[in-house]
């Protein structure tokens, strides 16, 4: 309190203090909310930073370059190193290639749809998007998409929240979380801000994004370069209780499948060619899918092709078992093979068949 011996002056001083405190707080909150409603991509810097870094790279490149964006979850993030893809594509097409890995851990088809919409909104001049299809993400659990909760409401714009609800996310919960984050933005977006300002101070269970946006072109190097057979077996066994049950109920007619189809149609409407690949898996992990789901995967890939995907391919059996750490994420030594596989089996066919490069 100020040194004002007279009670009236102390009272006036206290009134000013309270009014200033409340007013400043309101201004700070309204200011941040307005900023986030205007620049909605900053709600989710985990996607926005690499996307803007990609855009900046494209602006520096000659017009004849081909721009490739990889979209997916941690499987794509850890498996695909654009620095290995670019020279391969350049070598086979004769054109400079600018590739960026725009994965977000935990992203399923609904999140990937939002990512494509954001790329279009940010006017990133991408030629082709290569999109991961992980069948597990197409399961419904208790009437909700399996990827429910991975795009937290605070990372979505209001329009995306409404879309998510249309695809089966619980309306009341998501809208409430969005309101709480938006109207108390310093609390609701604290991890986003801390991730930008002082990422090393983030709690250990919050995914850090800042390191990978530019230095490794979005690729998230695997934690382990190599693992022993026993460690790999343990990793696989840890996955089974979590993933086996939903893998039995995958049905592409459900909302996640509809989201993926909408993604393909959106790309087609905006002149972006799409390549869809089913992620490589180890033999044992792959064996957890029943025959009925395998048949559905095959049918769905055909459907996506009809919708407009230039390439839709099942790569589940395409990598050696020894390259996986837990059956679906590769270890460090598996990254070159994963990246080469995607470049040769998806990127190059997409570019050639769409006419983006000469056959």
Does residue 3 touch other proteins according to CB under 8 A? yes
Contact between 149 and other proteins (CB under 8 A)?
Answer: no
Euclidean distance between CA atoms 15 and 351, whole angstroms: 67
Which of these segments, 11-19, 121-129, 137-145, 314-322, binds other proteins (CB under 8 A)?
11-19
- 62, 204, 241, 271: which one contacts other proteins (CB under 8 A)? 204
Confirm or reject binding of residue 287 to other proteins (CB under 8 A).
no
Q: Site mask, other proteins, residues 152-191, x = CB under 8 A? A: ----------------------------x---x-xx--x-
User: Which residue's CB is nearer to other proteins, number 2 or number 248?
Assistant: 2
- Which of 23, 87, 290, 355 binds other proteins (CB under 8 A)? It is 23
Candidate ranges 19-27, 223-231, 260-268, 344-352; the one touching other proteins (CB under 8 A): 19-27
Closest separation in Å from C-beta 1 to other proteins:
6
Instruction: Give the residue, chosen from 21, 37, 56, 159, that forms a contact with other proteins under the rule CB under 8 A.
Output: 21
User: With respect to other proteins, which residue has the nearer C-beta, 16 or 91?
Assistant: 16
Q: Which is nearer to other proteins, 19 or 317 (CB)?
A: 19
Q: Which of 172, 200, 228, 229 binds other proteins (CB under 8 A)?
A: 200
Told to check if 16 binds other proteins by CB under 8 A, we report yes
Judged by CB under 8 A, the residue of 1, 229, 291, 358 near other proteins is: 1
Half-sphere exposure of 223 (CA within 13 A, CB side): 7
290 binds other proteins (CB under 8 A): no
Of 145 and 151, nearer to other proteins (C-beta) is 151
Alpha carbons 138 and 251: distance in angstroms, whole number: 6
* 18 belongs to the binding site for other proteins (CB under 8 A): yes
Phi, then psi, of 99 in degrees rounded to 5 = -120, 145
Q: Are 301 and 278 in contact (CB under 8 A)?
A: yes
Cβ-proximal residues to 171 (8 Å cutoff; 6+ apart), any chain: 165
User: Could you list the residues that contact other proteins (CB under 8 A)?
Assistant: 1-3, 10-11, 13-25, 28, 180, 184, 186-187, 190, 193-194, 200-201, 203-204
């Amino acid at each position: 309190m100020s040194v004002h011996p007279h009670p009236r002056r102390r009272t006036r001083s206290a009134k000013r203090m309270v009014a200033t405190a409340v007013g400043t707080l309101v201004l700070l909150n309204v200011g941040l909310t307005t900023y986030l409603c205007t620049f909605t991509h900053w709600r989710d810097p985990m996607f926005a930073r690499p996307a803007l870094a990609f855009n900046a790279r494209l602006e520096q490149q000659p017009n004849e370059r081909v721009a490739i964006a990889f979209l997916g979850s941690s499987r794509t993030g850890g498996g695909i190193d654009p620095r290995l893809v670019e020279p391969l594509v350049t070598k086979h097409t004769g054109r400079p290639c600018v590739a960026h890995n725009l994965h977000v851990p935990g992203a399923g088809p609904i999140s990937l749809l939002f990512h494509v919409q954001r790329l279009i909104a940010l006017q990133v001049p991408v030629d082709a998007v290569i999109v991961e299809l992980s069948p597990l993400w197409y399961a419904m659990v208790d009437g909700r998409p399996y990827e429910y909760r991975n795009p937290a409401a605070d990372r979505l714009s209001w329009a995306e929240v409404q879309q998510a609800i249309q695809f089966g996310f619980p309306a009341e919960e998501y809208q409430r979380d969005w309101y709480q984050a938006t109207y108390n933005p310093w609390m609701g977006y604290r991890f986003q801000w801390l991730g930008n300002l002082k990422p090393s101070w983030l709690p250990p269970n919050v995914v850090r994004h800042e390191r990978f946006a530019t230095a490794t072109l979005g690729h998230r190097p695997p934690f382990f370069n190599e693992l022993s057979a026993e460690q790999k077996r343990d990793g696989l066994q840890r996955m089974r209780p979590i993933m086996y049950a939903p893998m039995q109920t995958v049905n592409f007619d459900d909302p996640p499948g509809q989201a993926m189809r909408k993604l393909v149609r959106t790309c087609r409407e905006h002149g972006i060619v799409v390549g869809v690949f089913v992620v490589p898996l180890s033999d044992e992990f792959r064996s957890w899918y029943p025959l009925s789901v395998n048949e559905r995967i095959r049918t769905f890939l055909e459907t996506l092709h009809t919708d407009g995907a230039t390439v839709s391919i099942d790569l589940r059996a395409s990598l050696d078992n020894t390259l996986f750490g837990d059956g679906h994420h590769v270890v460090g030594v598996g990254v070159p093979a994963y990246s080469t596989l995607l470049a040769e089996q998806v990127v190059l066919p997409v570019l050639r068949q769409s006419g983006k490069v000469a056959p």
